[in-house]
Chain A
Amino acid sequence: MSTLKTLNGNQTIAEAVRQIDPDVLAAYPITPSTAIVETIAKFKADGLITGEFVCPESEHSAMSVCIGSASAGGRVMTATASQGLALMWEMLYIAAGLRLPIIAAIVNRSLSAPINIHGDHSDTMGARDAGWIQIYSENCQEAYDNFIQAFRIAEHLDVRTPTLVGLDGFIISHSMEVIQVEDDQIVKEFVGEYQPVYPLLDTSRKFTVGPIDFTDYYFEHKRNQIEGIENAPPVIEQVGKEFGEKFGRAYGFFEEYRMDDAETCIVVMSSAAGTCKDAIDELREEGKRIGLLKPRVFRPFPDKKIAEALKNMNAVAVLDRCSSPGAFGAPLFTEIRNALYDYDQRPKVVNYVYGLGGRDIRVEHFKEVAEELDKIAGTGKVEKIYSYVNLRE
């Protein structure tokens, strides 16, 4: 039975894990994702899950265990954050190269130095070329819904690509929210039976996984890998639609908020989108024709769809919770601006970096951005293409 429960972000992930009951769960605790691992451990201790729980000595080993387990032929998940994801880095690429549909809940947190435990997107954005599908969540409900859908997407035989679901450290991971938790059996049915592809444990076949390629094969294997994530968009769309039919909450690649007659737009992902919606509402009250576009799927990047949604704007501000030192703008900005390049008529696009290390972004900050957008829309001129929000200058 679908029920309302008061859970924080970490608990919603754990709840989904309990319902899906993956075969192997391997994770190393790290703030702010620790509670996911602890709750899974307790589920195991209380017999609420039947999978094997492995608590390795590091995140590198956690991902290595996931790789071994997924190759062995079963459903596998992990959870981590920040430095933990950074320590997994090497293995992220290998999970993708071996086409293993491992699911990771990533509680987004800043990267050292300086050490900081709060939320930003430096961890997963740094992993954006690792070959993983990346889905971001605005709130606890989305984290729960995205995590369930991730298994269907990653394990689809055309895709077979590891998938991470991001939720903002503390802001979501530690905030209580009333969420709709679906019926255990219906969630299980939605996710379905795992279909192994070349499982090591089928010892009737002997084969070699992860051999060395020289210059004559590496390129072909890499192209073969890329095909998996390129096959993902229709699957993501289908799964999001089916999820909506089943549970009443449909998902696409991004959410458009009050975009119908908008002339300017703010693009922002994850928890900050919630605050932005409040700002948009207030600005609309003031008569501003502004909307919000909240990307949900960052990899594969839905470039055409986003460009279509933004091409008629006068000005767009892309907000990144991550910096890309020395680059021409932060990751989300460069993707979006690039997606618009082929359109003859396209908006001016500016970039704001916000919220590093958990720095607040409040309604008034979005209003400041909106004001700047108005100015750009009015003059057709961009004074500063790259700025910071709520930073002491």
Chain B
Amino acid sequence: MAKLKDLAKMEDRLVAGHGMCLGCGIPLIFKVVLRATEDPLIIANATGCLEVCTTIFPRTAWNVTWIHSAFENAASTIAGVEAMYKALKRKGKIPKDKTIKFLGTAGDGGTYDIGLQALSGTMERGHDIVYLCYDNNAYANTGGQRSSATPLGASASTSPAGTQSPGKLQWRKDLTKILAAHNVPYVAQACPSRWQDLYNKAKKAFEIEGPAFLNVLCLCPTEWKYEESKGIELAKIAVDSCVWPLYEVENGKYKVNYKPKEKKPILEWIKPQGRFRHLFKEENAWVLEEFQKKVDEEWEELNRLASL
């Protein structure tokens, strides 16, 4: 078991002076994940909060080799880096015993939506890379537009709540399962409030040969509109309410990594967040019901898959 004290001793690969928001969840994820391998690492980062807030020229918060090319192609960019690594290794230009790890990363916009095709292709081709989606449920970098990861009933700037609308009308896309359907060696869902689980999953993802995918819930006080100090509390509720279950799919086998002793009602997840405020109007009661029903169904289905 990794100890935080030991992790803290490791060199930071993402450092202070980045411009991410107060209480932002992204650094919390990367602080853990980037410590899950001691090998040299190359990161391809899609356009988004992380990229913008860490690399405003002439400053960079990256203490690791890092490249950004566009929004929808973190997966194919890192695939290209990995392809060159393989080619140069084969040609003897990189020593045989040298190992480099490759990480592609984007938010839910760059992963669930505009980057899904490139990600799917990269996974199918079997590049030996890890892809991490930091899912903050919206296009947070540009002011909180809806994504296909935005939850039902959330008010986002392109799915706003109004007199005739309860916010986003659609249930979110189940991306982790879509990635599992690629039959890659390792797919997992994690949350920074359970850092040990996140660390273990990242470690496994880096160690496994072939493509691995991590979908990590990412706190976003700016777009979720909650008091930023309460972020980890909220993340815990996401897990305990099964809104964001922790599970992994290793070589096709589903495993639920954490089962809450007592499943919390989704209301505990929804109440602290301003993006759901309008759901407490009488006419929107059906959304809350629907939300709970969907979460229950998905949780049941996940447990069924894990029991196979």
Contacts and interface: CB of A to CB of B under 8 A. Distances in A.
A201 interface: yes
Given A60-B118, A67-B69, A200-B42, A208 B62 contact: yes
A205 B63 CA distance: 10
Contacts of A74: 84, 87-88, 93
Nearest to A74: B84
Contact of A52 (B44, B60, B73, B83): B83
B62 A68 contact: no
A69 B125 contact: no
A186 interface: no
A172 interface: no
Contact of B84 (A56, A73, A211): A73
Given A52-B83, A71-B81, A213 B57 contact: yes
Contact of A57 (B51, B82, B86, B121): B121
A207 B82 CA distance: 17
A57 B118 contact: yes
Kindly state the interface size class of chain A when it binds its partner: 35 or more
B88 A209 contact: no
A66 interface: yes
A203 B40 contact: yes
Contact of A71 (B41, B55, B67, B121): B67
A26 B58 CA distance: 32
A51 interface: yes
A98 B40 CA distance: 23
A259 interface: no
Contacts, number: 163
A107 interface: no
Contact of A61 (B60, B76, B87): B76
B90 interface: yes
Contacts of A212: 51-52, 55-57, 68
Contacts of A209: 66-68
Given A57-B120, A61-B73, A203-B100, A69 B81 contact: yes
A68 B81 contact: yes
A55 interface: yes
List of 9 A-B pairs having minimum Cβ-Cβ separation, nearest first: A68-B80, A57-B121, A72-B84, A211-B55, A203-B40, A64-B76, A65-B80, A64-B73, A61-B76
Given A71-B80, A203-B40, A203-B65, 15 more contacts: A23-B87, A23-B91, A24-B83, A50-B87, A64-B69, A65-B77, A65-B79, A66-B80, A68-B44, A70-B84, A72-B83, A74-B88, A76-B84, A203-B41, A211-B68
Interface of A: 23-24, 26, 50-52, 54-58, 60-61, 64-74, 76, 90-91, 94, 98, 200-201, 203, 205-214, 217, 221
19 contacts: A24-B80, A50-B87, A56-B118, A58-B118, A58-B121, A61-B75, A64-B73, A65-B79, A66-B80, A68-B67, A68-B80, A71-B80, A73-B88, A203-B40, A203-B42, A203-B100, A206-B65, A211-B56, A221-B57
